[in-house]
Amino acid sequence: MERVRSPDKPLKIASLLPSATEMVYALGRGGDLVAVSHECDFPEDAKSKPKAVKNTIPTERLSSADIDREVARSLHAGHSIYALDLDVLGRAKPDLILTQELCDVCAVTGSDLHKALKTLNLSPRIVEQTPSDIAGILEDILSLSKVLGVAERGEDLVHDLRNRMQRLRAVTARLSKPRVYAMEWLDPPYAAGHWVPELVALAGGREVLGEAGKPSRKIEWRDVAEADPEVVVLMPCGFTVERARKEAGILSGRPEWKGLSAVKNGEVYAVDANAYFSRPGPRTIEGAELLAHIFHPGKIPWEGPPAACKKLI
């Protein structure tokens, strides 16, 4: 039987991925975080936590194509694109570390972590999260809530998220289903995978290139042209709306892009992928609600931040 910790007992947590950090806060245990990743920026309090992870690639200064090349080069050479700060981790001395084994490009992997812990002579409990779909995200929330000793709060949170999903399905079931391309990377083009096609379906759309439950994948421009989406949602992994908007200029030079129904009809949008799509956490269902508003703006309102989406064409 899994040991359940009392919610009142102090617990030093290091979260090495943003989605887990958001879960910890949503479960009311943000005060127990002693270290986080450099990408943990939500809620606002997470920014004040010591950063135990840093990026080895200066993504903020590189274009989409350059980032793709640098990531591919690093992974091919067997190098991680993230580095653990052993000084921060050593000072934090966490009882619990949250990490992942889903994607080498998303966060520190378990193998890198185990090497660091051996060097530091630390032996905390390690919880790895590897959700490939919405069900996996909800299960991770429930599992983490038990580890943190707040199982009831986890059940309440998941119950609320499931209710929101059910309400969204009911509303979109009677609406039109536009062909959608959720563009997870711009140069080269990628089709979104894992939970994103599910979010598109929840929102009342039909994802024409991505596959639910499977990793995102690089595709060819001819694939995009053949699919001819009626709506294109730019959600480059980890990008904000503004960053996606700035990068979108590279698309106009592609003849295939100009011929898409979505482009001709002015149905191209940039969204805050960093907040609602790249991270498998509590805000993921908000991503479906945002997409539903994009697909059916006159019938489904968006109650989140206005800056979460921008129509580009």
- Check whether residue 64 and residue 190 sit in a common domain: no
Q: Tell the residue number behind the tokens 């986080």, with chain if given.
A: 36
- Check whether residue 50 and residue 116 sit in a common domain: yes
Predicted pLDDT at 66: 78
- Check whether residue 125 and residue 181 sit in a common domain: no
Residue 139 lies in a domain: no
Burial of 208 by CB count in 10 Å (0-12 exposed, 13-18 middle, 19+ buried)?
buried
Q: Left, alpha or beta for 254 (phi > 0: left; psi -120 to 50: alpha)? A: beta
Domain boundary among 103, 130, 157: 130
- Check whether residue 180 and residue 307 sit in a common domain: yes
Residue 149 lies in a domain: no
- Check whether residue 295 and residue 241 sit in a common domain: yes
pLDDT in tens, the chain (313 residues): 344 455 556 799 999 999 999 999 999 999 999 999 999 999 999 999 999 998 777 677 777 887 878 777 766 666 667 889 999 999 999 999 999 875 555 556 667 788 889 999 999 999 999 999 999 999 999 999 999 999 999 999 999 999 999 999 999 999 999 999 999 999 999 999 999 999 999 999 999 999 999 999 999 999 999 999 999 999 999 899 999 999 999 999 999 999 999 999 999 999 999 999 999 999 999 999 999 999 999 899 999 999 999 999 7
For residue 275, what is the domain's CATH number? 3.40.50.1980
Q: Record the pTM.
A: 0.91
175-206 in b/e burial notation, b at 16+ Cβ within 10 A?
eeebbbbbbbbbbebbbbbbbbbbbbbbbbbb
Predicted pLDDT at 97: 96
- Check whether residue 181 and residue 78 sit in a common domain: no
Amino acid letter, residue 239: F
Predicted pLDDT at 310: 96
Query: ∠ at Cα 133 (203, 109), nearest 5°?
Result: 135
Distance of alpha carbon 248 from alpha carbon 269, whole angstroms: 10
- Check whether residue 181 and residue 305 sit in a common domain: yes
Residue 145 lies in a domain: no
Distance of alpha carbon 138 from alpha carbon 159, whole angstroms: 9
Q: How many residues does the chain have?
A: 313
Predicted pLDDT at 313: 76
- Check whether residue 118 and residue 219 sit in a common domain: no
Domain boundary among 96, 112, 130: 130
80 close to 111: Cβ distance less than 8 angstroms: no
Residue 97: its H or E element: strand 96-100
- Check whether residue 196 and residue 90 sit in a common domain: no
Q: Which of 258, 235, 243, 239 is nearest to 313 (CA)?
A: 258
Domain encompassing residue 64 = 13-130
Domain boundary among 130, 156, 191: 130
Residue 146 lies in a domain: no
Looking at the 3D structure of the chain, how many domains does it have?
A: 2
Residue 44: count other Cβ atoms within 10 Å of its Cβ. Answer: 8
Distance of alpha carbon 190 from alpha carbon 11, whole angstroms: 40
